[in-house]
């Protein structure tokens, strides 16, 4: 009986195979990093466009989108805000007259942003203020994120931090809230929040025009000298980012 010898890989051949595998892993990793960087950059571009739309609306109509008390005289297919110069979010009531949702509808009707939005809260069980991407808010490039515009009085960036007084309108970029008319649910990793802050501001989550974090989030932490910094060691989706508009 003739025996067939089974040829084994030589060390040289094994090293070539391992080198090819390592190269493929590096290519995939770099491609994923490039995709992520592209989404961060696209998010920054869209944030700027929303800020421009907000200011253009104020100049053109002498009112705030969503708060405009005579919006129905310009567009019959919308409701009016209360005209108190604050775009208000709610976590009770609705689905009608929710200004943070109306704001996007007014901007869309004024042709300052793309998309079509209901201006209404979505009813889910006992809640009437649910935020739903593609229905009452616009999708943003980072996965699962959207944005709303509303007035905020103060903010605490991490548990134990001092409250920062803001009293301005902001563009909030994060995950849709299931019970409120906001997009302040943590949905952005600290590294990406830091990249947005670095591009537009000062890289500090508690100062400047870009801020991030919340008492229930692990996005920011103390820097040990009275300020805050992004928790870059955390790779989870712990951040919502907001952009000062006023």
What whole-number distance in Å separates Cα of residue 146 and Cα of residue 184? 9
DSSP state string for 13-62? HHHHHHHHHHHHHHHHHHHHHHHHHHHHHHHHHHHHHHHHHHHHHHHHHS
**Structural domain boundaries of the chain?**
38-244
- pLDDT tens string, the chain, 246 residues long: the values are 555 555 556 777 777 878 788 777 777 766 667 777 899 999 999 999 999 999 999 999 999 999 999 999 999 989 999 999 999 999 888 888 899 999 999 999 999 999 999 999 999 888 889 999 999 999 999 999 999 999 999 988 888 888 889 999 999 999 999 899 999 999 999 999 999 999 999 999 999 999 998 877 899 999 988 889 999 999 999 999 999 999
């Amino acid at each position: 009986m003739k025996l067939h010898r089974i040829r084994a890989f030589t060390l040289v051949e094994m090293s070539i195979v391992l080198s090819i595998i390592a190269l493929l892993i590096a290519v995939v990793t770099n491609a994923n990093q490039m995709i992520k960087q592209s989404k961060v950059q696209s998010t920054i571009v869209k944030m700027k466009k929303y800020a421009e739309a907000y200011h253009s609306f104020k100049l053109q109509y002498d009112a705030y989108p969503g708060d405009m008390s005579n919006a129905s005289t310009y567009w019959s297919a919308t409701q009016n805000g209360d005209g108190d110069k604050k775009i208000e979010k709610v976590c009770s009531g609705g689905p009608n007259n929710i200004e943070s949702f109306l704001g996007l509808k007014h901007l869309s009707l004024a042709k300052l942003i793309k998309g079509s939005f209901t201006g209404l809260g979505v009813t889910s069980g006992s809640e009437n203020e649910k935020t739903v991407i593609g229905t009452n808010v616009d999708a943003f490039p980072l996965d699962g994120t959207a944005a709303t515009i509303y007035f905020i009085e103060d903010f605490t960036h991490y548990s134990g931090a001092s409250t920062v007084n803001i009293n301005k309108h902001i563009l909030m970029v994060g995950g849709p809230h299931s019970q409120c008319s906001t997009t302040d649910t943590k949905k952005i990793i600290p590294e990406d929040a830091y990249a947005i802050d670095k591009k537009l501001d000062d890289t500090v989550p508690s100062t400047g025009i870009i801020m991030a974090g919340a008492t229930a989030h692990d996005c920011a932490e103390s820097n040990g000298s009275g300020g805050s910094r992004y928790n870059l060691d955390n790779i989870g989706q712990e951040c919502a980012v907001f952009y000062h508009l006023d």
